Structure 1
Amino acid sequence: MWIETRGQGPDVVLLHGWAMNSTVWNSIADALAQEYCVHLVDLPGHGASPAEGPLSLSAMVAAVDAAFPWPVQVIGWSLGGAVAAAWAISQPQKVKSLSLIASSPCFYAASRLGQRDASHGILAQFAEQLQQDWQGTLKRFISLQAMGDASARAVTKELLADLFKHGEPSLTALSEGLAILRDTDLRAQMRQIDCPVLLQYGDRDTLTPVAVAHWLASQLSDVTLDIHQGAAHAPFLSHRDAFLATQLAFLAKN
């Protein structure tokens, strides 16, 4: 895998979302690197990390786990959060703390009742459109991530600028990554996570409704919850200062 390391100190691993790459973290990585050894990872099949075989959640976890044979603190956004959570579940001795950003243990479910939410239709629609116009589909997906955000235009611009900085993804990897979002369901396993967990979510997120954050908070034994008012799916971009303040305080405690 492609990994860039910045700074010195306790190890912090950053995992990005579907179709993106590690450059999405640039706006906060340098700030974190003032106190931590920050590892920016391109997940398999994304950015500069080729997929070695079919993509699956377990394959992604195995690749990340092999790259870091020592305990780390992990920050995962969206799909990266699912990878991070699965890593914490399968290798509890490796994950010292877990930060989930706009992520869900089951992207098809909006609540503890398992009710389907808007993301169900959205993911199915994107899977179909991906085969016809993958570049246009990615741009529409980015617009959806920013939709409703108080800084939607700036967030969209930044995500689009980062999209191909580490190269264009393969259609196969995109399709398999979308299937991971479609099929992943970690709800029954979340109670197994025994490390401290930080949840940072936006109250205007259409992909990961804020109900997900509240459900997770009810399931985890050691949890800190921060809902960013006016933020959508990328609070680390739209609410950078508030996000960093919460994140740095959490990392310092753990």
Structure 2
Amino acid sequence: MPTVHHDGRDIYYECTGNGPVVVLLHSFLCDGEMWNQQLTALAGKYRVINVDLRGHGKSSVADTPLDIYAMTDDVIAVLDKEQVTSATWAGLSIGGMIALRAALTHPERVSGLILLDTHAGTETRFKIFKYKTMVAIAKLLGISPLLPTVAKLMFGKHTLESQPGLVEYWKKKFAAMSLVSIENVANALCARDSLNHRLSSITQPALVLVGHDDISLPPACSEALSARLPHAQINIIPRAGHLSTLEQPQAVNRAMLDYLTAYAQRKDSVTA
């Protein structure tokens, strides 16, 4: 099990395939398994580094306050261990927020961006209140009573109706995350800064993907993000909610592969 020890935490990741490097960063409450369908599609041509973010999956619990920049530095530590100088960063939701911050704080480490169901702005006051209330309920009663609400935030209406087995599987995974990690990562999301005024300085090519039925970060968020990035294209995925990689994997795979074929770094991206 490859891990890197950074900032007092063990960050778990997996490497698959060979070629230009693609880093995968999952959503809040998920882990690297979220990308299984994409791994199959990418590993034939790319070296894929699939990271479990701090507090998620097999990485250490997020048992102290943190911010999204700290999570960005965790990923940089993974790249350092793997001697990767630059990679395409693909992130969904908080994973996309991490990727954007990497492009701003470590631009030399980012050759391209794939930004799925994510946002460059701050959280709204209403959502901050809502999420903090949900965390308080979870601390008092456990996460189980909240799972129906969480499922509706994560999955689109089509998926909820047509793939109940997928939804139930991931509800169990959401419930397995430690409450202290949920609280600290949720606080990091609620406290995030706005990047909108800095997006024009990101020169890397970007693909912006969003589920048509995403109610957590609706398509308008991705449209605004794409409009502010100098070299971005947007693709709205039909019949997908927030977790588009799980809900419509083939459509996401096609979009990612088309982007990577056009823009992925072709030179060796590993330090000599």
Q: TM-score range by the shorter chain?
A: 0.7 to 0.9
Q: Distance in 2 between matches of 1:80 and 1:159?
A: 20
Partner of 1:174: 182
Q: Does 1:9 align with 2:19?
A: yes
- Alignment-derived partner of residue 61 in structure 1: 72
Give 1:79 deviation, angstroms.
0.9
Quote the residue 2:105 is aligned against.
90
Instruction: Single out whichever of 97-106 and 139-148 deviates more from structure 2.
Output: 139-148
TM-score (norm 2): 0.82
Aligned to 2:216: 207
Q: CA deviation at 1:138?
A: 4.9
The corresponding residue for 2:38 is: 28
Pair member with larger Rg = 2
- Three-state SS of the structure 2 residue aligned to 1:80 is helix
Q: Distance in 2 between matches of 1:164 and 1:42?
A: 17
Q: Secondary structure at the match of 2:19?
A: coil
Tell me: CA distance 1:61–1:24, structure 2 relative to 1, closer, same or farther (3 Å).
same
Give the Cα–Cα distance (whole angstroms) in 2 for the partners of residues 107 and 129 of structure 1. 23
Q: Call closer, same or farther: CA 1:180–1:166 in 2, change over 3 Å.
A: closer
Q: Is the 8 A contact 2:30 2:173 kept in 1?
A: no
Q: TM-score, normalised by structure 1?
A: 0.87
Describe the SS at the equivalent of 1:3. strand
Match of 1:223 in 2: 232
In the alignment, structure 1 segments of 5+ residues that lack a partner are 110-115
% identical aligned pairs: 26
* Number of matched pairs: 246
Match of 1:113 in 2: none
Contact kept, 8 Å, 2:24 with 2:90, in 1: the verdict is yes
Q: 1: CA distance between counterparts of 2:249 and 2:43?
A: 15
Alpha-carbon separation, structure 2, partners of 1:166 and 1:141:
9
1:105 to 116, 120, 145: 120
Amino acid at match of 2:257: L
- Per-residue Cα deviation, 1:135-171 (whole angstroms, up to 9, x for no partner): 32356313321142x2224556435425666994322
Q: Decide whether the 8 Å contact of 1:82 with 1:103 is kept in 2.
A: yes
Counterpart residue type for residue 106 of structure 2: Q
Which structure 2 residues correspond to residues 118-137 of structure 1 after superposition, within 5 A? Answer: 119-120=127-128, 122-136=130-144, 137=146
Does structure 1 conserve the Cα–Cα contact (< 8 Å) formed by 2:212 and 2:240? yes
Deviations 1:107-133 (A, max 9, x none): 525xxxxxx6x7455424323323223
Question: CA, structure 1 residues 229+165, in 2 after alignment: closer, same or farther (shift >3 Å)?
Answer: closer
**Structure 1 residue 46: Cα displacement:** 1.0
Residue 83 (structure 2) pairs with residue 73 (structure 1): no
Tell me how far apart the structure 1 counterparts of residues 188 and 28 of structure 2 sit (CA, whole Å). Answer: 9
